[in-house]
Chains A and B, each alone.
Chain A
Amino acid sequence: MTKKNIFIGFLMIIIISPWILLRIIKKSNIYKSTYVYNNLGNATLDYVVLGSSRGLTTLNTNKIDSVLGLKGFNASTDGGGIATNWLMLNHLIHYKVKFKYCILVLDDMGIEDNTYQFSKNTYRFIPFFNDEHIINEINKFEDCREKFNFKASRFYPGFSVFENNKIILPTAIKALFNPEKRNRFDKNGNYIYPFNDTLDKIYANDTISYKKYGHVYIEFENLCKKNNINLITYIAPLQDYHLNVPPKSHLINHSSLFNNSKYFYDHLHVNSIGRDKATDSFILNFKQILN
């Protein structure tokens, strides 16, 4: 094999590898987005939970299902803002996942968002770089380098792959050897933080109030209405403060559910015992909505 052949071969590998890597990831269950694509297409569920890490770790869908006799899925993505939840909602609808209720675990950052913004984990939709339903929504996002790379990936996926190289390559390697592996969620989409007794024991009693919902939330609401999905807005427990939000039908505000830091893993997330109690309280409210 001549040096020239080695050079050309290596060059071809570099050029083609982004397609291969993204294909491997897309065919695996490693991300929520790919799990939905591979396992939930055309599925009929009763409800879906959408949120960030607070959505991922506060509501235990296994427990909700067993108590209420329902079938649900937690499609929350850690590190995702409301715009990422929006992408996931469109993703679910596109792959004809049917569900009557969407439980949006709303963080205070997403309440008044008027623009769609990339979060640190929006890259998990990169395997769908060629899918119209994702590209159309990405077009609504604020102009930034990530958006440019995402859109440019339609022509050459290397743009997004190389930008997120530190994640994409090891993920693809993991997915290649174990395509069934899920990245920090069980088969119902849940994840749990362990019990943590190291937090400071001070419980603050501040209240932060929001006067109106932002454009992104309203669009979220409209999309649910358009697809006959009942939107439940849920504010998960917080350690340091209470959130006051404008009234909505099917609003469940549990931001000050706990007054004891023993239920929290950190200031924003409940731990294992906090999740149990939060889920129990949620079930009571959810039951009323169902009736």
Chain B
Amino acid sequence: MLFNSYSFLVFLPIVFILYWFVFSKSKVTQNIFLLLISYVFYSFWDWRFSFLLAFSTLLDYTSGRIIFNTNDAFKKKIWMRISIFINIGLLCYFKYLNFFIDSFEKFLNYLNLQIDTTTLELILPIGISFYTFHGVSYVMDIYYGRITADKNIIDYSLFVSFFPLLVAGPIERATHLLPQLKQKKYFNYNQAIRGCQLILWGMFKKVVIADSLAPIVDDVFLNYHNYSSITLFVTMLAFGFQIYGDFSGYTDIARGVSKLLGIELILNFNLPFFSKSIPEFWSRWHISLSSWLNDYVFTPFALRFRDLSKYGIFIAVFLTFLISGLWHGASWNFVIWGGIHGLFYLPVVFSNKGFRSLTGKSKNLDLKISDVPNIFLTFFMFSFTLIFFRSSTISDSIGFIQHIFNSNSSAFLNTTGIMGYQLLITLLSLCFLMFSEFKMTRNKHLGRIDYLFAFFMLLYFGQFKSTASFIYFQF
């Protein structure tokens, strides 16, 4: 059930009404209801994987309880490792097994060693990349004494499977979400209004911007050899907006739905296209993932390689981004994408300023005219890496890049008729989006007229006939 589908349009009001008017007597009834609804929501994708979700939840809950209740350091470590091993093992099995088999076979073929391998026809359980990370962070936080183990299986299960964030994040932390689930939620009118605004804004980004750009981007990436250099360059930038509209749109809807239910989810995107550097970009883009990787991957690596001084830090950064790339997809394209981002950190790590964190604290934007070149440069750098992110294979990525610089074609996009009209509308929508976000950099909230305009754009220019999935569902 996609957020931008008619069935969700029916699902949400029913959940809202039942939650506040029937099951709102106590925190227990609220949580039980939300847990059941979350599993129902998940089952719309594939009910069989509900068992996997339940298993992962039970594993981490049990591991957490054992780790917390024992004083035996060895036992703590063993159970932490068991939990991580099984969680990551499940992720590797469903997501990476065929990739590893395929890569291994290609490697052996490269060495002229022929081997017969069989890949399995595995369905990727939706959301597995996200809920396994919930579980891993929970167990690790207990192990390191940052939090206590939850005694309530319902509360913990809801933390893992809360339906707005179940399939594509944000990756919540126990320290942020669990305390909210431990309290009874009371209806707050302003929070609900803000939730509706976020849902509207998210739908605008997804249905108007992302879904309008999608057919253009798909066609050009598929047939890049037929298009001119300028078309390829523009499409590269367009994909940046598409993925932003798609993913941040999804997150806004998830946060908006949560607010309607009295729950606050963490901010996952904070005006990333106004970043002045790649590190700042990662403090504003998919914040929940970059902070998770910072805390649970980069920091342990940095500690391990601390004897290598700045070289050790750079190795930690680079490995973290390789893992980030791999998390995004079981393909060497994504690994290269991650690796390039790691390389972008070179000047920052080896500068004299003392590098401590992948993301640092996301500061308030205080933009000046002199920041404009850096903002554009950062956006171009990010968009360039997306060539690897979007292309099907490495050779397609390289081919795309080569054609940007050296295309024999002069074909531009078809700008006549309906296509031209849609391009114009998409451009108008992008201008409105960026102008609105620029207003937000000035700490100005969007007004009623802004939301009404977004609503108008959604009604008249939103893609409703064929509901496209969200890009990050594949991760």
Contacts and interface: CB of A to CB of B under 8 A. Distances in A.
Interface of A: 3, 6-7, 10-11, 14, 145, 158, 162-167, 169-170
Interface of B: 6, 418, 421-422, 447-449, 452-453, 455-456, 459-465
Contact of B448 (A7, A164, A165, A169): A7
B459 A14 contact: yes
9 contacts: A6-B449, A7-B452, A11-B452, A14-B456, A163-B464, A166-B461, A169-B460, A170-B418, A170-B421
Contacts of A162: 459-460, 462, 464
A250 B231 CA distance: 54
B452 A145 contact: no
A166 B207 CA distance: 12
Given A3-B449, A11-B452, A164 B459 contact: no
Contacts of B460: 162, 165, 169
B24 to A, nearest CB: 31
A165 B462 contact: yes
B465 A164 contact: yes
Lowest 10 A-B CB distances belong to which pairs?
Answer: A162-B459, A165-B460, A170-B421, A163-B464, A7-B448, A10-B452, A14-B456, A169-B460, A7-B449, A145-B6
Nearest to B455: A14
B452 A165 contact: no
A163 B461 CA distance: 10
Contacts of B452: 7, 10-11, 14
Secondary structure call for the A interface: helix
A143 to B, nearest CB: 13
Contacts of A158: 459
Contacts, number: 39
A165 B455 CA distance: 13
Given A14-B452, A165-B460, 4 more contacts: A7-B448, A145-B6, A158-B459, A165-B462
A164 B453 CA distance: 19
A220 B207 CA distance: 39
A31 B465 CA distance: 20
Nearest to A120: B465
Contacts of A145: 6
A145 B455 CA distance: 21
Contacts of B465: 163-164, 166
Contacts of B455: 14
Contacts of B463: 166
A164 B463 CA distance: 9
Contacts of A164: 465
A63 B456 CA distance: 47
B405 to A, nearest CB: 31
A158 B418 CA distance: 21
Contacts of A167: 418
Nearest to A4: B448
Contacts of A163: 464-465
Contacts of B418: 166-167, 170
A164 B460 CA distance: 9
A3 B328 CA distance: 44
A124 B448 CA distance: 35
A7 B449 CA distance: 6
Pick the most buried of B422, B449, B461, B465: most chain A CB atoms within 10 A of its CB.
B465
Nearest to A13: B456
A7 B447 CA distance: 10
B447 A3 contact: yes
A98 to B, nearest CB: 36
Nearest to B465: A163
A286 B464 CA distance: 44
B196 to A, nearest CB: 15
A112 B465 CA distance: 27
Contacts of B459: 14, 158, 162, 165
A230 B459 CA distance: 45
Contacts of B6: 145
A3 B448 CA distance: 9
Contacts of A10: 449, 452-453, 456
Contacts of B462: 162, 165
A7 B452 CA distance: 7
B422 to A, nearest CB: 7
A11 B463 CA distance: 21
Contacts of A169: 460
B210 to A, nearest CB: 15
A164 B462 CA distance: 9
Contacts of A6: 449
A119 to B, nearest CB: 13
A178 to B, nearest CB: 15
A7 B456 CA distance: 12
A14 B459 CA distance: 9
